[in-house]
Amino acid sequence: EAQVTQNPRYLITVTGKKLTVTCSQNMNHEYMSWYRQDPGLGLRQIYYSMNVEVTDKGDVPEGYKVSRKEKRNFPLILESPSPNQTSLYFCASSLWSGDSNQPQHFGDGTRLSIL
């Protein structure tokens, strides 16, 4: 089954304690991306990756790191989490091609609470 898997789904942690949210896809997609969703602000892109070893900043990259060592994995790292990073996070992947209707697949979301 084609899917994007995020872990954990829920996490409550404390300020300053490093954490990693994993994202894995089994569709051999080139493009992967992380978003955060906050009430009143909608969805905002954090980082994206066009392929292995290629990552770029989205609109809100501060306080986050990513890596793309393998095609299937795109972990989101919070080196020193702060309460303003409390949010709902989504990972997504898609093929990168000229076909207009290539779907983008999303993970189920990770709800992070930083106390």
Check residue 65 for interaction with other proteins (CB under 8 A). Answer: no
Looking at the Cβ atoms of 1 and 101, the one nearer to other proteins is 101
**What span, in angstroms and rounded, lies between the C-alpha atoms of 60 and 113?**
18
Q: Which of 53, 56, 70, 79 binds other proteins (CB under 8 A)?
A: 56
Q: Which 12-41 positions form the footprint of other proteins (CB under 8 A)?
A: 31, 33, 35, 40-41
Site for other proteins (CB under 8 A): which residue of 3, 28, 84, 102? 102
Chain residues that interact with other proteins, rule: CB under 8 A? 31, 33, 35, 40-45, 48, 50, 56, 58-59, 88, 90, 92, 96, 98, 100-106, 108-109
